[in-house]
Chain A
Amino acid sequence: MKFLRDTWLVFQRQMQLLLRNPVWVAVGIIQPMFYLLLFAPLMKQALSQGGPMTDEQAYRIFVPGMLVMVALFSAFSGFGIIAELRAGVIERNRVTPVSRVALLLGRSLRDVVQLLFQAVLVTLLAVPFGLRVAVGDALLAYLLIGLMTLLLSSTGYALGLTLRSEDAMAPMLNTVIQPIMLLAGIFLPLTFAPEWLKNVAKANPFKWATDGVRALFAGNPGDDAVWQALAILTPLTVVALIISSRTFAKSVR
């Protein structure tokens, strides 16, 4: 099938370029390490104010939040596409009969692979600190995070292709991502939040995603939060993929 072949073609190229630049791989490893080593102990202390807490409990709250945070950063994919736009690569692709959906999906899947690699790494690094999670639960959590990445990276591409300049993109992303991050309860679960803040956070799909991932890391795959997260992320991802592949079809210069 042409679409699958084209997607594989674009994906392969993107992976090749990613692996060629080991700096990114290194950054992807070192960044989560910082959080695990320098921030997690602090958070454990903060969380224990509500009652004594074991390392395992702390990391079960902290690691999912970190995974969601890294997934949120996939929206920065938009900067890469602006560079490609400027180099003339996108226009060169668009002049061929290659599938427009493949141009998007091949790139987004590269982002997903990169993120899943980081996610597995973070999970493994947290094990020595006392994190325990069943393989099945972790895989389901990775599915949620993978969906989030697909959603955010394709949105990032659509934004990049539409705004066409880093200067317009940076403030836009910062103003959107920050409240999303704060309102997702990434570091401190929203259980500590006042009622009104909890209600506002309910409008944030990534709050549901964070809850879902936390439930899985807590060993409760049957928790409502899991199916709710899936039910919210799936349609959003589909819509983002459709909109974004349209921008690939008609982006100008």
Chain B
Amino acid sequence: MIIETSGLRKSFRSRAGRETKTVEAVRGVDLSVAEGEIFGFLGPNGAGKTTTLRMLATLLEPDGGSAVIAGADLRKEPGEVRRRIGYVAQGGSTWDESTGREELVLHARMYGIGKADAQRRAAEALDTFELSEYADRRCKTYSGGQRRRVDIALGIIHSPKVVFLDEPTTGLDPQSRAHMWGEVRKLREMGMTVFLTTHYLDEADALCDRLAIMDHGQIVAEGTPADLKQEVLGDVVSVNAREVARAADLFGTAEYVRKVETTEQSLRLYVEDGASAIPHVLRTLDAEGVAIEGIELHRPSLDDVFLAKTGRSLRES
């Protein structure tokens, strides 16, 4: 495991007028992330994702708990952790008046890399992230997507083992988002472990090998996107038929069906694995002579998972 945390905690005291309030931002996070995977943190705003990442990136001292990152202990050797990780903050990190190339060279040199090597790495990173064309223009002239790509390039300029990306696609237009997903996969291909946060369901689903769902400072579920969805509900096979009630009776006792629901025109069968259930369903209906108008396989979304775990929909929170 390249990241292992146990019981990470952090609370903030904030003042509202005269009263001081304590916000428990992170309430005991245990995680393990395997080398070479894209690991995602999915959760609504204020869930504690950024706070967790900032602790892991040595920017914020945890109140409690421990973590080992790329073989270095977070509390005992923060300097070592810094050398082995890259961190891309949620709000960006470039200076308006500098050019992308200057930022990259400077950042590399802050890791102790020599001038010539830093320049070579900057050129390489600019090339990888398709920024060469704008490399010598000031950052204030960049589009949102270009600027975000500079942020990512900054995060990996020293070839870290692990890179933390805090909401890499928030605020980007759909095209830039798709582009960014490609960049993130590139990082994995380069051999890096990627730990990202997101509040987009489709992003967590499409991009992450494994993910943890976070809510109110705690992890409420962890696994591959497919496992998580499976674990909660399984798949749904919905059948459109005229004789819904009669059809429903046929599956009341079927072993592979967990639950049966009916609406006016359709029958919803919750099953473990939709693909293997469909032939059974069709055979049963056919044997009893129930005519169908359509059949559909619906895989539950991560939102269904979030709903099952927290009682709220992520879309609404």
The contact of B95 among A21, A89, A95, by CB within 8 Å, is A89
Size class of the A contact interface (CB-based, 8 Å): 20 to 34
Tell me the B53-95 residues at the A interface (CB within 8 Å): 57-61, 79, 82-83, 85-87, 89, 91-95
**A87 interfacial contact with B, CB 8 Å:** yes
Q: Are B97 and A91 in contact (CB under 8 A)?
A: no
Q: How far is the CA of A141 from the CA of B225 in the complex (A)?
A: 68
Question: How far apart are A21's CB and chain B's nearest CB, in angstroms?
Answer: 7
Q: A13-B106, A95-B57, A95-B87 are in contact. Are A20 and B97 (CB under 8 A)?
A: yes
- Scan B10-27; emit 1 where CB is below 8 A from any A CB, else 0: 000000000000000000
If A94-B59, A97-B83, A252-B60 touch, does A9 touch B94 (CB 8 Å cutoff)?
no
The interface residues of chain B lying within 8 Å CB-to-CB of A136 are none
Interface size on B, residues (CB 8 A): 28
- Whether B97 lies near A17 (C-beta < 8 A) is yes
A94 and B59 CA atoms in complex are apart in Å by 7
What's the Cα separation between A84 and B58 when bound, in Å?
19
Flag A31-46 by CB within 8 Å of B: 1 or 0 each. Answer: 0000000000000000
Q: Mark A8-31, 1 if CB is under 8 A from B, else 0.
A: 010001001100110000000000
Give Cα A9–Cα B111 distance, bound, in whole angstroms: 11
Q: In the complex the two chains form, what is the Cα distance from A21 to B138 in whole Å?
A: 13
Cα of A138 to Cα of B110 in the assembled complex, Å: 37
B residues less than 8 Å from A98 (CB atoms): 110-111
Q: Which residue of A lies closest to B86 (CB)?
A: A95
B107 in the interface (beta carbon within 8 A): yes
Do residues B58 and A95 form an inter-chain contact, with CB atoms below 8 A? yes
The reply to whether A96 and B107 form a contact with Cβ atoms under 8 Å apart is: yes
Provide 21 A-B residue pairs closer than 8 Å at the C-beta atoms, listed in order of the A residue: A9-B106, A13-B102, A13-B106, A16-B102, A17-B97, A17-B98, A87-B95, A88-B89, A88-B93, A89-B93, A89-B95, A91-B59, A91-B89, A92-B89, A92-B93, A93-B110, A94-B59, A95-B82, A97-B79, A97-B112, A250-B61
